[in-house]
């Protein structure tokens, strides 16, 4: 685990590089899709936390600011849009109809755990996530090697162009992409980098506790939960967290249009 290139943000705690062991586990090849989340909702009538709060964060270029209702002032490029939920990611009038194979978004950590419980799975620990995302490659920068675009080929859905004003979509996508876009890593896992951030089980600590070397589960408590993988908004000019060692976090009741999850299971 960890950043072997000294390229991360010091405050993220990606260093030092350390060897940890994880017990065998299964990981879904894809992030949970809108289609899969829809099946969960239809069967359980679960109401997401985001719907209870009544709003979520949407990237400003995805909405007409004249037509959506904001519940508070924008925060940088994030608009707190009223009624932005998993099934209408840009607020009232939007839909996921043509995005059923895209990752579900606008789900909190608690929502993700509720889905996992229903599916008989769980969220990965950070150690499991990084082990899986690396696909057997040791001390590499990305899930596929050290080059961002080997032979000019795009391998993940991140920001292309000038963030946050102009996305030239050279990787094929502006917002989310179908979960099976791009070639998978060596373990057959798709889009571990980019597309959407993925909730992990661990509490987050800026200093990763490496004292546990067997099945590390992170701190016993905390304020925020770990997220991994980066999203379609990542760009090297301000956030290079599509690197496979990169870490970030969010409060468990947070949601946004670039944050989803994938499941693992014990074997």
* Residue ranges in contact with Cu ion by CB under 5 A: 230, 234, 239, 241
Least distance CB 239 / Cu ion (angstroms): 3
Least distance CB 174 / Cu ion (angstroms): 15
Q: What end-to-end distance do the CA atoms of the chain give, in Å? A: 22
User: Which of 121/247 has CB closer to Cu ion?
Assistant: 247
Least distance CB 57 / Cu ion (angstroms): 14
User: Which of 68/259 has CB closer to Cu ion?
Assistant: 259
The angle that helices 109-119 and 34-44 make with each other, rounded to 10 degrees, is 80
User: Which of 114/234 has CB closer to Cu ion?
Assistant: 234
Rounded distance, CA 41 to CA 214, Å?
Answer: 36
User: Which of 123/259 has CB closer to Cu ion?
Assistant: 259
Question: DSSP letters along the chain, please?
Answer: ---SSS-S-GGG---S----B---EEE-SSPPBHHHHHHHHHHH----HHHHHTEEEEEGGGS-TTTS-BSS--BTTEEEEET-BTTBTTSTT---GGGTTSBP-S--HHHHHHHHHHHT-BPPPHHHHHHHHHTT-SS-SBTTBS-SSGGG---SB---EETTTEE--TTS-SS---TT-S---TTS---SSBSSEEEEEEEP-SS---S--BS----S--SSEEEES--TT-BTTTB-TTSTT-EEEE-TT--BTTEE---EEE-
User: Which of 9/46 has CB closer to Cu ion?
Assistant: 9
Least distance CB 141 / Cu ion (angstroms): 15
Least distance CB 175 / Cu ion (angstroms): 14
User: Which of 103/216 has CB closer to Cu ion?
Assistant: 103
User: Which of 241/247 has CB closer to Cu ion?
Assistant: 241
Rounded distance, CA 176 to CA 213, Å?
Answer: 35
Least distance CB 234 / Cu ion (angstroms): 3
Least distance CB 198 / Cu ion (angstroms): 12
């Amino acid at each position: 685990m960890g950043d072997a290139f000294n390229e991360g943000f010091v405050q993220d705690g990606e260093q030092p590089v350390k060897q940890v062991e994880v017990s065998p586990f299964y990981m879904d090849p894809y992030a949970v899709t809108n289609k899969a989340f829809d099946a969960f909702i239809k069967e359980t009538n679960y109401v997401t936390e985001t719907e209870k709060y009544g709003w979520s964060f949407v990237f400003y270029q995805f909405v007409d600011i004249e037509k959506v209702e904001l519940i508070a002032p924008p925060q940088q490029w994030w608009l707190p849009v009223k009624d932005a939920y998993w099934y209408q990611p840009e607020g009232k009038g939007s839909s996921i109809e043509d995005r059923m194979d895209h990752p579900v978004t606008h789900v909190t950590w608690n929502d993700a755990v509720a889905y996992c419980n229903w599916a008989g799975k769980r969220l990965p620990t950070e150690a499991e996530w990084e082990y899986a995302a690396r696909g057997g490659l040791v001390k590499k920068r990305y899930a596929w090697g050290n080059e961002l675009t080997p032979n000019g080929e795009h391998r993940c859905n991140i920001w292309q162009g000038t963030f946050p004003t102009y996305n030239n979509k050279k990787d094929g996508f502006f917002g989310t992409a179908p979960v099976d876009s791009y070639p998978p890593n060596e373990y057959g896992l798709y889009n571990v980098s980019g597309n959407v951030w993925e909730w992990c089980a661990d509490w987050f600590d800026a200093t990763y506790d490496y004292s546990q070397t067997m099945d590390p589960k992170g701190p016993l408590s905390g304020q925020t939960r770990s997220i991994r993988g980066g999203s379609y908004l990542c760009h090297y000019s301000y956030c290079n967290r599509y690197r496979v060692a990169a870490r970030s976090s969010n409060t468990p009741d947070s949601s946004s249009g670039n944050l989803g999850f994938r499941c693992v299971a014990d074997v």
